[in-house]
Structure 1
């Protein structure tokens, strides 16, 4: 009894304080909004790649060791064309001007293109190789000279095949290496948007030639710009659709306006909290403002619906507003708590991207709860009381007929409900067995954008753009350049080139072959490893070149001490799901070619690290989902002190997750970071209805003298309408994310909407049926202990009784 009166007294006191201090509370809201708006100056978009793996994971350690030896691999931008008109004198001159413009920019370290290409030449007097210009600038206006040099490049310089040209299709490309210091800063964006893109657009317009641009710095920049554009679209679309639904339900412009103002304030707070914590806007945190709208409107619906119910009974606005908070304050708090749990469990993922998303979303959900709880009664206190047309939704025929149909099935067809649920569960499990995991870096990129089409172009022309790096440790200094090592590397490269999905490897072997070709005056027939007799004098030329040159020709492929060699191959990004098989094949070949006592072979690169990161993240997200189930079970167990209630709460929320996972399996939607998020978000939202239903059922039992059927039907008739309304809003609200151009965001919006739809039906049909079945033998209060927290809507008599007491 003490617990009941404490809970009731607290919410009654809070309701009175809110209505008696309206001006002070509104001023506080304004001041908080101003303070958080001042934090917007700290908001910035991310310029770094999402690191899915922690630094202490072996794949991260190996990748960082690779970067330390051979340098950053993510600073390359490539520009290519498949049009032979590029090599007409006037157009080629414009190409050269454009490339020189890039080279002169402070953000660029190096530009490698056919116009500044260097050719390896032998210098017998110095016993070294020299890098000589491939083109004679004085002859560039001679069309025949240009044509001959292009043919020479394609036929006589196999070293550059796959690097700068595709021999079969004739595609040519240039490479821009950005300063590594600016790759993860705003300067990268400035170069791409203010220098690179305008120059390329000007070239295309003047010369009527299409150019293609790609590379990770470019992809990341254009993705960020797309995210920026979509934030406003999401906010506008979600606000529009949820507001229209709110108005459709309540037919009140004033109530709709109040809700719009509240969620707009919530959006402003969400941006302010991002700035306050100095969190960068990523593809996940960019969704937070829209989520606030989608989650906030159901809160407004729940509170407004209760206000209308109370006013219809009392016809007293002040009394109705006070009793909204008094009656359902605790229930609203707990339902927001379960929503926050769904998002907050991402904090356990050990991934910065998800941790920040979970923290910001959970904080904003609680902030929005108090904003709704305080502001809705205050605003309604200043406007006229609702009229009859505002209250018609409480008895709307179409909705009521739908709810009555569900109730009839609960009463007479519970076996059919269980049978249908069982069939869906079995079908879902079959679908789940067909699910795949993908580690694609670009799969979720906006496929209708020009920069994505350029990615596809380079993947088709050069067998992929995602590097896979293989590091050979010879376990001794200068071991790489030994003849036996080079022969093993050549054998290894020949074998891995046969693995489906990999491009032609590039390594020091190519350089040594090129050196032999240069030694024999550039004859392409000699593009091969030196024989044992040629080894000593040709490699001496190579070593002299490396020693005397400022730009060591070996440094990209051999470590400074000569112990480690690098082999680079490329793979199409759509082969991400095949990475484990590709890696296994490479390791098997490595074991055959390199004796373990003399060599150690490590596989790394962005492709592998991202795949490993995806698997790691999926494991963490699955753990977070299990943790969400565990926390929800604890919460319900603490509230109701009943194991039956825990089962009844979890089963209706587990089935929708199974059904969504099954759909993903049947339709080939892979498990990836964006789709695994669906389950935690949907569970946190769906379980709200479960808690609301069970808490009211628990109290209806007491009011109806432990008559189970009567209590279930009474609960359904009272809570079912709010559950329906909020689920519809959430369904359409999350559907807004399907307007995105990012595949991951589309999947997130669509799958969460589907899951919430399943969750609504499950909570409206399966949940009451389970309650009726599992509590079939309930006879008295001893079988359902007094709850620790009472969430029911207190009766008017109890509140009137409390009004006569001192709080």
Structure 2
């Protein structure tokens, strides 16, 4: 009676806490902000934030390409472009629009400044001359006009740091105006597009994967226990643990992003492990005829320590993600680690309470299972010991081959790496790479040395040399800087001729340009190029998304060029920008997470060492679980899967999950040895009793993670694929390699190891 009252109290407390968690979950929001993936404590981030305050964000813009099947120099088409330009400029969250129909070339004469449009939209008879002027003017082709004259591009400057809702509003209004005007062949790229699409897909995939995971888990649980309570009880444990952890996210104001979106799906499979081991042992105890209360107590004694250790090791695997310096990665590690601990606590409290209140499981099913599972596992164990030498030799060869394959892994990522190559959003971005300058921003901070300004001729010549290198060697297809302003002025003074778009050649010409600079100081585009005192400025450019590996190499070469060629007594520079930070992220994150993996290994080794007081047992336990990590690294090298943000987290997560089965094995082995059984017989008993739970939980885990391969996010796809493969390798390693390592190398203290021949293991 006491136990029943205690069970009701436990369930009532859990129910009340779950209600509070559901209230907190209602406060959760979806978010995808590129800034959150910047390294928080990197000095480069501090520099960029100060730079952004002075000159604005380098990705607060939208690119809009409008296409014509034949030629853009069509009166109807250009009038539509001009009309939509005027409409877009009046939309909310739009600060400025640069359009081919509003571009003009300034001409400075004695009476003042005249703006001569490049395109005379309402004068079709001048289109041929306009075309000639445009395609001879530097800076226009590839920026506003495609080389094949079939597309034009508009640059829409948006309000700073738009969040999801205003981004959606702007895009809906923009697309609506395009359809209203009749411009249906268009391409849009920019941060607002990526943010809107990512958040929408996160919401859809969160619901999809949770649904698939629930169905998969129900199927596996039913075929395992053949009872309704064997399905409902583990499912309730996992659902409530997810509810509590996400409620904590809502309470702390943490949003759901592309990383924490994985938490429910991962918990559906990871959190199920402890419940399955407990229920499997409980069914076995009941099948042996023990009363319900005694069966529950015995079950908790037998598997309690093992489930505690597996929960701790799995949580450590996620918590080691705290070594990363990226907010979404850290949040994912923290909240998933907490969810694992919560699932364990519920498995040890809520699950026994429900078992006590539920009717006894039928004994016929367990007897049938007991007949088939031991027979299967006995044959497998005999196979392992019969071919143990061959297994060890094959394992050694696989490790050596894997080490070579790991050397083939490349560290590389692109701006839209999470999207598949045929994704419409990614295709739009590629359109701008193929027809215009591209979407990858480049930023260079310029600072005149003391006693100089950025408009001094010697300083501008330094900038000109830098621009020449960036165009010819680095690969920038579009550049704007203080030098652009001066070249434009020189052209304006000389009647707008394309040949005059250069620095003045003589001192007299230079003084003439200097005298006209004040005419341009109030132009809005100059505010984001040069500071008011003319000592600080920016060089901004665009290029194709070449990937972080190539970009890092080019940036290192550019810095070396600057160190050797730039006169620091005239000009100081610093490469910065969001792209640089994302590139740097890849290198630092990979290093941090490899450190986290090492930390994970050390923690697990310490736990095993405390259990067995044996260094050999630490090696025996870790080797079957490091082997799957090595195999996954080899798989990545062979299949050319790059090491990046999404794939580098896999190793620490996989190790923390894969070690669980090994912990259950050695915990049971310890109990068998403590009861006085010889080593060989203890291994056999351990193999037969834990093998079923090991295989079932591994199948549930693999099936659950396999659901992620249907994601439209490439990173989520690889998380599902690679962790599923890791778990497959891990269960094979535990079943085939671990028993051999134990009997070959482990010698229990104060015990005489069994010298039974192999045939003695075949006791029925």
Range class of TM-score, shorter chain: over 0.9
SS for the counterpart of 2:415 is coil
Within-5 A mapping of 1:25-104: 25-83=10-68, 84=70, 88-104=74-90
How far apart, in 2, do the equivalents of 1:279 and 1:529 lie? 52
3-state SS, counterpart of residue 320 of structure 1: helix
Q: Which residue of 2 aligns with 1:117?
A: 103
Q: Supply the distance in 1 between the matched residues of 2:692 and 2:40 (Cα, whole angstroms).
A: 50
Q: Which deviates more, 479-488 or 153-162?
A: 153-162
Alignment partner, residue 645 of structure 1: 617
Corresponding position: 1:729 with 2:715: no
Match of 1:9 in 2: none
Q: Does 1:457 align with 2:431?
A: yes
Q: 1:242 aligns with which of 217, 225, 231?
A: 217
1:679 CA displacement: 0.7
The residue aligned with 1:669 is: 641
For residue 352 of structure 2, what is the aligned residue in structure 1? 377
Q: Distance in 2 between matches of 1:336 and 1:607?
A: 38
Q: Is residue 2:740 matched to residue 1:780?
A: no
The secondary structure found in structure 2 opposite 1:566 is strand
Corresponding residue number in structure 2 for 1:699: 671
Task: Quote the Cα distance in structure 1 between the aligned partners of 2:322 and 2:639.
Answer: 30
Q: Aligned with 1:111: secondary structure? A: strand
Q: Name the residue aligned to 2:416.
A: 442
**Counterpart among 383, 399, 407 of residue 425 in structure 1:** 399
- What RMSD, in angstroms, separates the aligned Cα atoms of the two structures? 2.6
Q: Which structure 2 residues correspond to residues 44-443 of structure 1 after superposition, within 5 A?
A: 44-83=29-68, 84=70, 88-126=74-112, 129-131=113-115, 140=122, 143-144=124-125, 147-148=127-128, 151=131, 154-168=134-148, 170-180=150-160, 183-200=161-178, 202-203=179-180, 207=182, 209-314=184-289, 316-388=291-363, 390-391=365-366, 394-395=369-370, 397=372, 402-443=376-417
Residues 348 and 387 of structure 1, relative CA distance in 2, 3 Å threshold: same
2-side partners of 1:423 and 1:150: how far apart? 70
TM-score (structure 2 length as normaliser): 0.92
Q: Are the counterparts in 2 of residues 19 and 377 from structure 1 also a CA contact under 8 Å?
A: no
Offset at 1:478? Answer: 4.7
CA deviations 1:412-437 (Å, max 9, x no partner) are 22221211111111111101111111
Return the offset for 1:680: 0.8
Q: Tell me which of 707, 720, 723 is aligned to 1:749.
A: 720
Could you say which residue in structure 1 is the equivalent of 2:9? 24
Q: Indicate how the Cα distance of structure 1 residues 730 and 247 shifts in structure 2: closer, same or farther if over 3 A, else same.
A: same
Q: Residues 643-662 of structure 1: CA distance to partner in whole angstroms, max 9, x if unpaired?
A: 12211111111111111011
CA distance in 1, matches of 2:102, 2:339: 55
How many equivalent residue pairs?
753
Cα distance in 2 for partners of 1:524, 1:585 equals 32
Superposed CA deviations along residues 219-260 of structure 1, whole A, max 9, x for unmatched, are: 122212211211101111111112212222223234213333
1:169–1:749 Cα change, 3 Å: farther
Cα displacement (A) at 1:53 = 4.6
Distance 1:741 1:280 in 2: 21
Contact 1:477–1:562, Cα closer than 8 Å, also in 2: no
Q: 84-93 or 65-74, which moves further after superposition?
A: 84-93
CA distance 1:581–1:97, change in 2 (3 Å) = same
Give the aligned partner of residue 761 of structure 2: none
Q: What TM-score results when the alignment is normalised by the length of structure 1?
A: 0.88
For residues 149 and 681 of structure 2, the distance between their equivalents in structure 1, rounded to whole angstroms, comes to: 76
Aligned twin of 1:518: 492
Q: Which moved more, 1:238-247 or 1:527-536?
A: 527-536
Counterparts of 1:382 and 1:150, CA distance in 2? 85
**Does residue 1:540 correspond to 2:540, yes or no?**
no
- Contact 1:657–1:755 (CA<8 Å) still a contact in 2? yes
Q: Deviations over 1:13-61 (max 9, x none)?
A: xxx9654423222222211111001112321122532444545523223
Q: Aligned partners of 1:208, 1:159: CA distance in 2, in Å?
A: 25
Matched-pair contact (CA < 8 Å) for 1:649–1:767: yes
CA distance in 2, matches of 1:774, 1:542: 86
* 1:579 to partner: Cα distance: 2.0
Q: How far does residue 407 in structure 1 lie from its aligned partner after superposition?
A: 0.7
2:567 paired residue number? 595
Cα separation, 2, equivalents of 1:754 and 1:261: 27
Structure 2 unaligned spans of 5+: 754-764
Alpha carbons of structure 1 residues 18 and 52: separation in structure 2 relative to 1, 3 Å: farther
- Report the 3-state secondary structure (helix = DSSP H, G, I; strand = E; otherwise coil) of the residue aligned with 1:214: strand
Matched, 1:655 2:651: no
CA distance change for structure 1 residues 170 and 487 in 2, over 3 Å: closer, same or farther? farther
* Structure-2 change in CA distance of 1:279 and 1:639 (3 Å): same
Distance 1:659 1:125 in 2: 76
Contact 1:496 1:589 in 2 (8 A): no
